[in-house]
Amino acid sequence: QIRLVESGGASVQAGGSLTLSCTASGDIYKNVCMGWFRQVQGKEREGIAVFYTGTKNIDYTDSVKGRFTISQDSAENKVYLRMDSLEPEDTGMYYCAVDLMVRPRCSWSPSEYNFWGQGTQVTVSS
């Protein structure tokens, strides 16, 4: 029932910035965890940031702290991922996901997330 669509991916030079968006549609009746994940070729999907919409608590993985920022537009069911000072290592397919389970802290495990978008490609060149 819930559908997620990512957008905003592009090819940029190292040091550049991008803002990704995740738009949710369908019936969302409660606060949820939303996660941003990325996956590179031949690697497992990894968590970038997780966000509980109720408390607005956000956790970032160490590699993006200070560079990536999550924000929310509740009225439009959108979550944004602002990415600054991009590095080649940030290259990958970026996904947003929703976990409907109410949790004190959002999970970093992709297996906990019930709904996924199709992904948007970010390529950072040096």
pLDDT digits (tens, 9 = 90+) for 44-65: 999 999 999 888 899 999 999 9
pLDDT at 104 over 90: no
Q: What integer is the mean pLDDT of 70-92?
A: 92
Quickly list DSSP for 22-60: EEEES---S--EEEEEEE-TTS--EEEEEEETTT--EEE
Residues 108, 60 contacting (CB under 8 angstroms): no
DSSP state of 20: E
Q: What is the mean pLDDT of the chain?
A: 93
Per-residue tokens: 78: 């959108």
Q: Is 80 exposed, middle or buried (0-12, 13-18, 19+ CB in 10 A)?
A: middle
pLDDT digits (tens, 9 = 90+) for 6-25: 999 999 999 999 999 999 99
pLDDT of residue 75: 80
pLDDT of residue 55: 87
